[in-house]
Amino acid sequence: EMVLDKDGKKMSKSKGNVVDPFQVINQYGADATRWYMMTVNPPWQTTRFDTKGVEETVSRFFGTLINTYAFFAMYANIDKFEYPAQPIPVAQRPEIDRWLISTLNRLVARVEENYNVYDITRGARALAEFVVDDLSNWYVRRCRRRFWKSDMGPDKQAAFETLYEALLTVSKAAAPLAPFIPEAIYLRLTAAQPGASVHLSEFPSAAHKAYQFRQDALETQMEAVRAVVNAGRALRAERNLKIRQPLSRLIIVSNDEKQRAAINAGSQLIQDELNVKAIEFVASAAELTSLKAEPNFKALGPKFGKQANAVAGAIRALRAQQAHELEQHGVLEIDFESKKIKLTTDEVNLVRQQAEGLAVSTEAGWTIALDTKLNDDLLAEGLARDFVNRVQNMRKDAGFEVTDRIAVRYEGSNRVHDAIQKLAHYIQQETLADRLGRAQAGEHLTHVESWNVGDEKVVISVARV
C-alpha cells in the first residue's frame, strides 16, 4: 500500500510534503524508522508517515530498552555480576521474578505466533508493551532496592538473573525487526566472541524448555494489583496528592473473594506504590459516602402544618446514623418538642455525598478511595521523603557515583529538623549518608542549594566522605 504524509495526502515535490527517508534514518536511526513503519499499522494498510511518530518510537520503546539495559549494566559492573552456568531455578525465585518470567514466556509465545503468520505489527507492539509497561515501569521500578543492596545474596542474584534473561530474550525477539540496537545489547550481555551475533542465535520459541515456565494465577493476581495501583496513581494526580506524601489508608470496593485474595496477596506492592499505610475493603461504594437529610417541604406542609419549618430544622439536624437508618427502613422515629414523630422518605430527601476526608474515583472497573486526612506523623514522613528526593537530585547533579557515601547538612525550621531527626535512619539509608545534621555556624559547606521541602524552605549541602 501507499505511504502518505501525516495528513493522509499523497507525497509530491510540488506540494512540498515529501519526507526524505535518508534524512529520517540519519536523524532517528534505522531501527526506529523500521520499528515505526511496522508498528504504526499493518504493512498491507496505507500508512500516514509522521516523523513525530518515529521520534516517539525512539523515546518510548528504544529509549526505555536502552535505559533498562544501562540500569542493569551499571549495577552488574559494580557487583561484577556474570550470568552463571547454573542459574537459580525460576520456581525458587521471589514472586515478582516468577511473574516477570511467566509474562516474558507468554510474550515469547505471542511473538512467535505473530511472526509465523507475518503479523509483525502485533508482534512488535507486544514487545514494546512488555518493555515499557511490564519490564521498565513495573519490574525495574519495583526491584530497584534489590540492586542497591550491598551484599550479593540470593535475592539480589535472582534479580540480576531475571533482568538478564528478560533483556536477552527481548534482544533476540526484536532483532528481526530492528537489527542494530538489539544486536548491541545482545553482544554486551553475552560478552560475545568475535563473529557472534544475535542474528545467529537461536530465536526464542515457546517449544523450548527455557520458555515454558508459566504461572497464570500469579499473572492474574499481578494484573489486579497493577489495576488498583494505576487507579490510585490517577486519583492522586487528579486530586494533586503528591506520591511522596504518605496517606493512612486505601479503601477498595469489592465483595468478590477472588479479587480480595489477589489484592491481599499483593498488598505490600500496592502500599509501596501508592504510599499508603493500610488497605481496607468495603462491599459497596455507598460506604464511601455520607447521607445528608434535606426536608421535602411539599410533603412536610400537609403533614405537619404550622410545625413544618420546625420539623425541617430537625431533619437538617439528623445524624448520619439516623439518615442511614431512614434509608434502610424507609421510616425513622425522632424526638420532637417533647413527643415522638415519624419521618418517612416522602418527607425527607436523602442526598448522598462523598464522605469528608476521602478522595474517591472509579477506573477500569475498580472503585477506590484514598483517606486524605493527615496527622503529624504522616506530615513528618512526607517532609522526610521530600528531603530525600532533594538530596538524591543533588547527588546526581554533583556527579557522585551511586556507591559514594556522603555527608548531608541542612538549614531549616524546627518543624523540618524534627521530621528529619525522627526519620534520620530512613533518610541516611536512602541517600547513603554517613552523616546527617544541621549546619553549624561557620562550617564550610559544598554543593549548597536552596529547596522547597513540602511547604518549607530548606538549604541543603552534600559532600563525599
Domain with 310 in it: 287-354
Q: What sign does the CA torsion over 50, 51, 52, 57 have?
A: positive
87 and 165 both lie in a single domain:
yes
Single out the residue of 414, 434, 413, 420 nearest to residue 388, CA to CA. Answer: 420
DSSP letter at 440 equals P
Region 346-350 average pLDDT: 94
Q: pLDDT digits over 199-229, tens only?
A: 999 999 999 999 999 999 999 999 999 999 9
The values of phi and psi at residue 308, to 5°, are: -55, -45
Region 246-269 average pLDDT: 95
CB 458 within 8 A of CB 451: yes
151 and 28 both lie in a single domain:
yes
Q: Cell numbers 545534621 correspond to what residue?
A: 437
In which band, very low, low, confident or very high, does the pLDDT at 375 lie, cut at 50, 70 and 90? very high
As for how many domains the chain has, the answer is 3
Region 358-380 average pLDDT: 93
Cell numbers linked to 68: 533498562
| For the chain, percent of residues with pLDDT exceeding 70 | 100
Residue 296: inside a domain? yes
What is the per-residue pLDDT for 284? Answer: 86
DSSP letter at 284 equals -
Region 247-264 average pLDDT: 95
419 and 350 both lie in a single domain:
no
337 and 426 both lie in a single domain:
no
348 and 407 both lie in a single domain:
no
In which band, very low, low, confident or very high, does the pLDDT at 1 lie, cut at 50, 70 and 90? low
CB 396 within 8 A of CB 462: no
Q: Cell numbers 542474584 correspond to what residue?
A: 157
In which band, very low, low, confident or very high, does the pLDDT at 399 lie, cut at 50, 70 and 90? very high
What is the per-residue pLDDT for 462? Answer: 97
- Mean pLDDT over all residues of the chain? 93
The string of DSSP letters for 90-127 reads GGGS-HHHHHHHHHHHHHHHHHHHHHHTT-HHHHHHHH
Q: pLDDT digits over 273-323, tens only?
A: 999 999 999 998 888 888 889 999 999 999 999 999 999 999 999 988 899
42 and 181 both lie in a single domain:
yes
251 pLDDT more than 90: yes
